[in-house]
Amino acid sequence: MEQVGQRKIDGLWLTVVGIAVLFFLILPTLIVIPMSFSGASFLEFPPTSFSFRWYAAYFTSPEWMSATKTSLIAAVMTTAIATPLGSLCAYGLHCSAPRIRNIAQIFVIMPIVVPVILIAVGVFSLYAKLGLNYTLTGIVIAHTALALPFVIVTVMSGLQNYDFDQELAARSLGASRAYALWTITVPQVKFSIQTGAFLAFITSLDEVVISMLVSGGDNATITRRMFNSLRDQLDPTIAAISTCLIFVSISALVIISIFNRNQKNKDQL
Amino acid sequence: MSSTAQSLPIEISSLCKAYGPIKALDDVSLNIAAGEFLTLLGPSGSGKTTLLMALAGFVRPDGGSIRFGDQEMIATPPHKRGLGMVFQSYALFPFMTVAENVAYPLKIRGVSKSDQKTRVERVLDTVELGGYGDRRITQLSGGQRQRVALARAMVFEPRIILMDEPLSALDKKLREHMQIELKALHQKLDATVVYVTHDQREALTMSDRIAVVNHGRIEQIDTPERLYRQPHSFFVADFIGESISLPVTVANDTAQLGGRVLKSDLAIAPGSGGHRLVIRPELLEVMSGPVPENANDFSGRVNDIIYQGDSVLVIVEHKSVGMINVRVPANRAGQTGLPSKGEQIGLALHPEDTIIVPEQVS
Ligand SMILES: Nc1ncnc2c1ncn2[C@@H]1O[C@H](COP(=O)(O)OP(=O)(O)OP(=O)(O)O)[C@@H](O)[C@H]1O
Ligand SMILES: [Mg+2]
């Protein structure tokens, strides 16, 4: 009896700590939402009045809109390039000998481990030679390099749970390797690919450090502009933009999980 | 099945494949007749799967040749080899129905929708899964999945079918049932079958011929009966069936055990590393009288008697070679009466059953 009681107390402890951790993780994110609806002309919490004026300021400003467009285009293009490229890379690694795979994995993880500021400096100096600084192409290439590891790692873990004999079976039944990959393997790691795509999109959309150095002028990303604006004046427009970004990220996440849920239901029928 | 296709012979010569220091295939040569059911039998890691995968085109050999009929296949990609293949894991596509799985090879070959339907239905009937077309793979039992894999591998009437331990995931009873069914199915199909297993009983049950594989080499290729009665090496004798073995000395084609000449009708296969006498428990005869002149005498004292249902195992202690097992069918034991513990009995090993093998084939 005593033990059961002890376990209950332990359980309570865990719950309390768990909730506290969640709270501290989410709070800074959530605090920005009420601030964005403030009527005051400076960032204040809690807000004393309510208005949409900072949303209006955001959506009517040509500079903010241009930066938003740059960021969205960069994120979409990064996703469009990193997803197929990373998926194929994961497939290739999955098929190669364990020794090669292990070595390659170190290189794949590298961009995640190396401090981004180092990558940013490197990319900036290289782009200076290539004339890619302040161009959309430059941003997309750099963001793709950052996003690739996420796609590769998620798709590789998806492939781990997939019975690869199925692809061999398809090929023995007459399918070329590409056709077998497309009709048998891809449908079964679809969720991993979608998750990878989502991570690639968010990686690009959220990226600040490289964008600070490499983007600019007409091709400044929204994160760069936000950062600069924070430095100049504390403008609640930032809160409104942040709220929009949170909304976009969460929507993408929700869409992905709905996709996944439908897929699972279909498989269980 | 109606058949425009004809089964093809397979000719494998000097096939080699090394994984680092491991020779998975060590100069393998093997001819398989058209329409034959050939089994690759061997212990784990002996190279059976590697050989099968080389036939299928998934393993690229370091050297050698593979011919289907009169066509060299070594450079042909897997999807152009026209083989039906059944995997150990079945490798069914879980997101497709049974019918979609079976129709997959037909779809690739551009067969019309209506033709697909009739052929899928016919082949599902053949494997006794008529009416299961709309089921999901996850709704099937192990045995049913096995049948779907089989149906999918034969629906396009391949002339060669490869199977890698297709029954190993099934329980014993179902496995034995499927062995008989597969064999019957092979007689209906016009296809050459190459079958992999490490279960010697399964190999003996199903095969026209068995190739015993060891360390990437083929130790012996023969009919089940010859393999059992006339093994060429100690490895084969030991791997197939039950046996005990005793070292013997061989000179001038006669073998001696403890100074006595062994009478044998069977040729002693060439080899190295000394020779062994192989005694199978069911080939020894318990004599009621004295052991005849022309047989080898292994008489001794009964040490123990073990009842095993279909047979009785009598353990006899021979004064110079030690313990020898003798298997007596249960019904015969019932008729003639069993010896009792401690009793001295006559044991004869007849010359036609006296198997003497080299430790290693040359
Ligand atoms: N891809 C590979 N890389 C390295 N070694 C391999 C590879 N495939 C097989 N081998 C080695 O080659 C040898 C033969 O393997 P194979 O899979 O053909 O054996 P098998 O007879 O099918 O065994 P089992 O009955 O366990 O399936 C083994 O020693 C195995 O470790
Ligand atoms: Mg194997």
Quick check: do B10-229 and B244-361 share a fold? no
Which pLDDT band holds residue A264 (cuts at 50, 70, 90)? low
Mean per-residue pLDDT for B71-79?
A: 94
Give yes or no for residue A132 having a pLDDT over 60.
yes
What's the pLDDT at A269?
46
What's the pLDDT at B2?
41
* Residue-range domain boundaries for chain B: 10-229, 244-361
Of B77, B85, B138, which has the smallest distance from its Cβ to A169's Cβ?
B85
Contact B81 A173 (CB under 8 A): no
Bridge-based pairing of strands B344-349 and B300-307 is antiparallel
Mean per-residue pLDDT for B12-33?
A: 95
What's the pLDDT at A46?
83
What's the pLDDT at B318?
87
Report the residue among B46, B195, B198 best suited for mutation to probe ligand 1: largest number of ligand atoms under 8 A from its CB: B46
- In angstroms, the CA B48 to CA B9 distance is 19
Select from 3.20.20.70, 3.40.50.1970, 3.40.50.1100, 2.40.50.100 the CATH code of B244-361: 2.40.50.100
Mean per-residue pLDDT for B176-181?
A: 90
**Phi and psi torsions of B257, nearest 5°:** -120, 115
Region B10-229: CATH code? 3.40.50.300
Give yes or no for residue B118 having a pLDDT over 80.
yes
Give yes or no for residue A126 having a pLDDT over 50.
yes
Mean per-residue pLDDT for A68-89?
A: 96
Distance from the B83 Cα atom to the nearest Cα atom in chain A, whole angstroms: 6
Ligand number with the minimum distance to the CA of B41: 1
Taking each helix axis from N to C end, the angle separating A190-206 and A62-95, rounded to the nearest 10 degrees, works out to 140
Domains, chain A, in order of start with CATH, read 62-268 (1.10.3720.10)
Whether B44 is in the pocket of ligand 1, judged by its Cβ within 6 Å, is yes
What's the pLDDT at A265?
62
What's the pLDDT at A196?
94
In tens, the pLDDT along B230-275 reads: 999 999 999 998 888 888 888 888 888 888 888 888 888 888 788 9
In this structure, of A223-232, B84-93, B175-184, B215-224, the range with the lowest mean pLDDT score is A223-232
Whole-number average pLDDT of chain B: 90
- In angstroms, the CA A36 to CA A47 distance is 9
Whole-number average pLDDT of chain A: 89
CA B49 to centroid of ligand 2, rounded, Å: 4
What's the pLDDT at B333?
61
Q: Which residues of A touch B (CB under 8 A)?
A: 163, 165-166, 168-177, 179-180, 184, 187-188, 266-269
Give contacts of A98 with chain B, Cβ < 8 Å.
none
In tens, the pLDDT along B154-164 reads: 999 999 999 99
A-B contacts at Cβ under 8 angstroms: 71
Mean per-residue pLDDT for B132-144?
A: 92
Contact A177 B153 (CB under 8 A): no
What's the pLDDT at A55?
92
What's the pLDDT at A151?
96
Contact A174 B79 (CB under 8 A): yes
Distance from the B132 Cα atom to the nearest Cα atom in chain A, whole angstroms: 15
* Model confidence, pTM: 0.83
In tens, the pLDDT along B294-307 reads: 888 888 899 898 88
Distance from the B5 Cα atom to the nearest Cα atom in chain A, whole angstroms: 16
Whether B271 is in the pocket of ligand 1, judged by its Cβ within 6 Å, is no
Is pLDDT larger for residue B317 or for residue B334?
A: B317
What's the pLDDT at B1?
40
User: Across-strand partners of B136?
Assistant: B97
In this structure, of A229-233, B139-143, B217-221, the range with the lowest mean pLDDT score is A229-233
Report the residue among B17, B22, B199 best suited for mutation to probe ligand 1: largest number of ligand atoms under 8 A from its CB: B22
pLDDT > 90: percent of chain B:
60
Is pLDDT larger for residue B267 or for residue B197?
A: B197
Mean per-residue pLDDT for A154-165?
A: 94
What's the pLDDT at A43?
79
